Amino acid sequence: MQEPTWRRNFIQPSVRFKTPLYVYIPTNAEAEGPFITDTDNYEAKRGEGDDKDTKLRVVISQRLETVNCLWDASTVLCGYLAANGKQVLEMCSQRFETKPSLFRVIEIGSGTGALGILAAKSLRQIGASLDNTLDVRVIMTDMEQEVSVLQDTIAANFDESEIKGSSAVITAEPLLWGSSQDCLSLQQKYQVDNLPWIHLILATDIVYELQHFDLLMKTLHDLSPRRNGPLFLMAFEKRWSDITGFWWEEVKSSGWKWETIKKGSAWYDA
């Protein structure tokens, strides 16, 4: 992974809330990145005709009063999904005895919703192209007072027909960390025929306050009670070494199997 040429976190708020990001979904595994960038100058690197990469436009709603802005960790994971979406879907599907036809993604601590929107747009496109077609749907979650921001973001990126009723491709729901009742309510709303109802959990920049770790871990266990449960993909910025260390101790004590994704691909250059 190439080092970023600039960091969104260092931009003045007046600019950060306006600077667009462009996400590209490669058509083949050999495509060269970056797949997420701040400049729309990717045309020379993209193919022509049927092999031309897909450019996604993601509109996000940001509100200064809720401190909801797009952080670097979110853009990094967006780039990773854009470059590795097919492998992620296949890896998740293999974790379950019966390969799912309805593939559910849940994002915790969604913030602006950029990652959830990207997941819905890119993974749905990839899932529909697989031999065993996957109908990918996304649930974005955050505290109740933040859900309206997510709903604004959803409305800006999808047609009304895509976000209404039981077949909605993406929804926004309240989820308070540590609340088993919130997790149970989501399960009762989205589970079908007692089948596994979550296949992939996404999160970015949720590891920054030690006092929330117990609540966060409880929610993750509530969402993934099975031994071979959903895959959990997360990205966070290492701001404080002691906080990061405590997080990995929590992960180890939980009995989870985990690995750090190496910076081996140019997912991100912004």
**Residue 80: CATH number of its domain:** 3.40.50.150
Confidence of residue 198 (pLDDT cuts 50, 70, 90): very high
CB atoms within 10 A of CB 45: 12
Above 70 in pLDDT, residue 35? no
Mean pLDDT, the chain, as a whole number? 79
Determine the 3-state secondary structure of 204 from DSSP: strand
In a domain, 1, yes or no: no
Burial 51-82 (b: 16+ CB within 10 A, else e): eebeebebebbbeeeeebbbbbbbbbbbbbbb
Distance CA 148, CA 153 (A): 9
Greater confidence (194 vs 69) lies with 194
| pLDDT tier for residue 70 given thresholds of 50, 70 and 90 | confident
**Domain extent at residue 104:** 8-254
Given pLDDT bands bounded at 50, 70 and 90, which one contains residue 211?
confident
Please give the pLDDT value at position 266.
Answer: 47
In this prediction, residue 65 carries a pLDDT of 56
Strand partners, 203: 234
59 inside domain = yes
Query: Looking at the predicted structure, is the pLDDT value of residue 7 above 70?
Result: no
In a domain, residue 121? The reply is: yes
Q: How many domains does the chain have?
A: 1
The reply to whether 263 falls in a domain is no
In a domain, 2, yes or no: no
Whole-number pLDDT of residue 151? 92
266 domain residue, yes or no = no
For residue 250, count other CB atoms closer than 10 A to its CB. 17
Banded pLDDT at 250 (limits 50, 70, 90): confident
Using a pLDDT cut of 70, give the percent of the chain over it.
Answer: 71
pTM: 0.82
Q: Is residue 268 part of a domain?
A: no
The reply to whether 3 falls in a domain is no
